[in-house]
Amino acid sequence: MGARREITKKHAAEYAKASKKAKGVMLDQVVATTGWSRANARRALTAAFTRKGPAKAVARKPRSRTYGYDTLKLLIQVWNVAGRPSGKYLAATMPTWLPKLEQHRELELTRLNDHTRAQLLAVSGRRLTGC
């Protein structure tokens, strides 16, 4: 695979500047050397020309947390008491569960404040999978 990458890098710049007939000849050479199909060789040559830097994937910065630590702890408590439903159903039933759990003192009241209550009520079913 390393040899193929070197071949595509070598031919990429001249392939991009070449005429249509010259590109066909270059494709024939690359296909004969690498054993790829013409379509794959064409894709590899254009990708090698447009690529800047190494061919490895760029490490992405992880997304920041949506909910705070206290909110997450309370969310886990509500989730356990509610019977561990999916995030979609938990988010839909949160306005029902939260007041009842507050009333019966099932939640850690030291963690519950206006900010965490607002976050719990605004919880999104999709965001619960990546807390």
Q: Same structural domain for residues 40 and 76? A: no
Confidence at 1, pLDDT banded by 50, 70, 90: low
Q: Same structural domain for residues 30 and 83? A: no
Angle at 124 between CA 111 and CA 82, to 5 degrees: 60
- Produce one character per residue of 48-77: b if its CB has 16 or more CB atoms within 10 Å, e if not: bbeeeeeeeeeeeeeeeeebeebbbebbeb
Evaluate the CA torsion angle 97, 100, 104, 110 in order and state its sign. Answer: positive
Residue 10 lies in domain: 2-50
Number of H helices, E strands in the chain: 6, 0
Angle at 48 between CA 60 and CA 57, to 5 degrees: 15
pLDDT of amino acid 87? 87
pLDDT of amino acid 44? 87
**CA 76 to centroid of chain Cα atoms:** 24
* pLDDT tens per residue across span 43-100: 988 888 876 666 566 778 888 888 888 888 988 988 998 899 988 899 999 999 888 8
- Structural domain count, the chain: 2
Rounded CA gap, 66 and 121, in Å? 13
Let me know if residue 64 belongs to a domain.
no
Residue 102 has pLDDT above 60, yes or no: yes
Q: Same structural domain for residues 126 and 79? A: yes
* pLDDT tens per residue across span 8-20: 888 888 888 889 9
pTM above 0.95? no
Tokens representing 110 are: 């030291």
Rounded CA gap, 61 and 120, in Å? 26
